[in-house]
Amino acid sequence: MTAPNNVTPPTPPAQVPVDEGKPRRHDNKQGKKPLYKRWWFWLIVVLVVLGVVGSTQSGSDTATSASTESSTSQTTTPEKSEKSEKPAEPAKPAEPAKPAEKTVELQATATGNGTVMIYKDGSTSNEHFSGQWSKTYTGDEAKGLSMFSVSGDIMGGDDQQVSCKVIVNGQEKDSKNASGSVGSATCDIPWF
């Protein structure tokens, strides 16, 4: 039997021309993008860099605190050794320390009638007297005293004499004299 002549043989598939400048997708690991072109690659790089920077800073903080602790222990070590070298003394019962009470005595004189003005805690108080005057303050009463002044009788003559004196715990601290009808002597009271 003979084959008919009008049957055409099958044609081979047409070949597509390949562009020589561009690589084919299947040449690069089955069509995948390079690693450096993927977003998750750069995310990992950033996280690693942040981790390194963070560990470097915490490492320097740890080193700083370790050197601080080291220098602290070095400075406290000699103190401990000095204390350990001293023999232990028996404990004595502690007596409460009594603060010395401050005693302030104010003295004033006038040849006639006089007036004393006392300055305490920002306020003043007046007392009238004739001849001599004195007042003693102790403990809390003495706190806040700052000064006192003595003046004569304004209606008296120019021959008037007035004086003031401050005595603290038995020691004279200040004294002043004045004369005349409007004379005034002012003494300061120490706060200690």
Q: Is 149 exposed, middle or buried (0-12, 13-18, 19+ CB in 10 A)?
A: buried
Higher pLDDT, 85 or 135: 135
Residue 142 — left, alpha, or beta (φ > 0 → left; ψ -120 to 50 → alpha)?
alpha
Q: Return the biggest CA–CA distance within the chain.
A: 176
> Which pLDDT score is estimated for 176?
94
The confidence band for 76, taking pLDDT boundaries of 50, 70 and 90, is very low
Percent residues over pLDDT 90 in the chain: 22
Q: pLDDT tens digits for 126-178?
A: 999 999 999 998 888 888 888 899 998 888 788 889 999 999 988 998 999 99
Amino acid (1-letter code) at residue 162: V
- The answer to whether 97 and 82 have CB atoms below 8 angstroms apart is no
Closest to 171 in 3D by CA, of 190, 150, 143, 145: 190
Taking the domains of the chain in order of start, what are their residue ranges? 24-68, 103-188
3-state SS assignment for residue 152: strand
Long-range contacts of 95-102 (CB under 8 A, 24+ apart): 100/169, 101/138, 101/139, 101/142, 102/138, 102/139, 102/142, 102/143, 102/168, 102/169
Pick the CATH number of 103-188 from 1.10.3470, 2.60.40, 2.30.30, 2.60.60: 2.60.60
Q: pLDDT tens digits for 51-70?
A: 888 877 766 555 555 555 54
Q: What is the pTM of this model?
A: 0.48
